[in-house]
Structure 1
Amino acid sequence: MRVLPSGDRALLVELADLDEVRGYYAALIADLPTDVVDVVPAARTVLVTTAGSLQSLSRTLRAVSPAVGSRMSADLVEIPVRYDGEDLEDVAELLGCTVHEVIARHTADEWTVAFCGFAPGFGYLTSPSTWEIPRRESPRTKVPTGAVALAGEFSGVYPRESPGGWQLIGRTSVQIFDSGRDQAALLHPGRRVRFVDAGRG
C-alpha cells in the first residue's frame, strides 16, 4: 500500500488489486473519520478527500486494515433485463456455450458495484464467477441508454447514450442515473445487484 498526495485536500491510496480495494473501502467506510468529505474507490486506488489535516488523514489511512471477505453494503437492487443485445450470440461463442446459458449465468450471479466511473452513474460490477470478455475490436459510436454489457471481468449498465466498446447482451428500462433523485446514481460502490431475465422481445 502507498499513500500519495493528490492536490491539497486529498490523498490517493494505491493498493495491490481490486479485491484489496474492496476490502480497504469497506473497512474505511465502516469507521469513517468525521473530517473525510468523500471516498472514491477505483480499480487499484481509493481517493480520500478531507476537510482536515492531510498529515492526520495519512496516519489514519495507513492504519486501515482491508476487511477480508466483507460486503461493502447490504442493500440489493434487482434490474430487469431484456436479453436481446447485439453481441449476445458473440459472447456465447466466446464462452463456448449457448445464449440461454449466458443469460442463466448472468442472472444467477450476485454482482457488486466495485467502483464507478466513465460516465455519471456507470458502475463497474463484479461477481464471484470468472468473466473474461474481451472488448469489441471496434467500439460503437453510440451505445443506447440502458444497455447491459460485459467487458473483461465486469458487467455494467450504460446510464446514457454514449460511445462504448463493451459487449452488449441486453437492455433495461431502469433509470440508472437521474439528477432529479435524492440519490442520483442508482449504482454506487458496495451496492449488490441481481439481474432478472425479462425476456428477449
Structure 2
Amino acid sequence: MSFEKFVKGMMSLSLVTIIGMLLYTGIANDTAEVTTGHYAPEVTAAEVNNTVATEYCMPDYKTYESKDGWTVEYNSEVFEVEEGNDFVGFDYVGDCSGRCMVTVSVLTGMTQEEARDSLVAMWDGKVTTHEGPFSMDEKFAYWVCMESEVGEGLGLYDTAIVVEHNGKTLLFECVEYMGVDEEVDMMVSDELAMIIDSVEFN
C-alpha cells in the first residue's frame, strides 16, 4: 500500500470517528443538531394544518331498569326494546345474518331446576348444561346452551341462563344467528355479549 493511500484511509477513519463522537455527544446531551442538504419532509406544516380530523361518535348506550330488580346496558342505536307481561326483549335491528336478540322472562311458578329441565327437554338434541356464577353479582345460575344443527359457526345458537332473584325465577336468553359474514357476526356477538355482561341485580 502506498503512503498516499494510507494517509487517505486514516483521514477517512478519523472523520468517521469524529462524526460518531459528535453524534453520541449530541444524543447524550440533547444538544447536537444533525442536518443534511438532501432532506425534504414528506408532510409540510401547511398540509398538517389543512388535515381534516376524523370524528368518532361513541354508541348511545342506555340503561334499562326492570321492575323485577335488574338492569342492563344496551346500544340504543342497534337495539329496539320490546316489553310485555313478564317479558323484555332487546331486538337487534342492525345488519345481521338472522334474528338476534336478548330476552328476559319471569318464569312464574317454576324453580330454577324445573326451568333448566324444561329447556333441556324442549331443546332435545345438541344441548350442553353447566352451573356457574352469572353477572357481576356472581349469582348462582344454570346455563343451558343449544348448539346449531347446521354446523359449527353457522345457524341458530341459543344460550339460556336461569337465575333466582327476589323470589322469582328469571330466564336470560341470548339468541344469535350466525351466517357466512364473520365480520358482521362478530359485531353482533359483541353487542349481545355486552348486554349479558352488563346485567346487575338490586
Same fold (TM over 0.5): no
Larger Rg: 2
TM (normalized to structure 1)?
A: 0.21
TM (normalized to structure 2)?
A: 0.21
**Structure having the larger proportion of residues in helix:** 2
Q: Which has the higher contact order (CA 8 A, sep 6+)?
A: 1
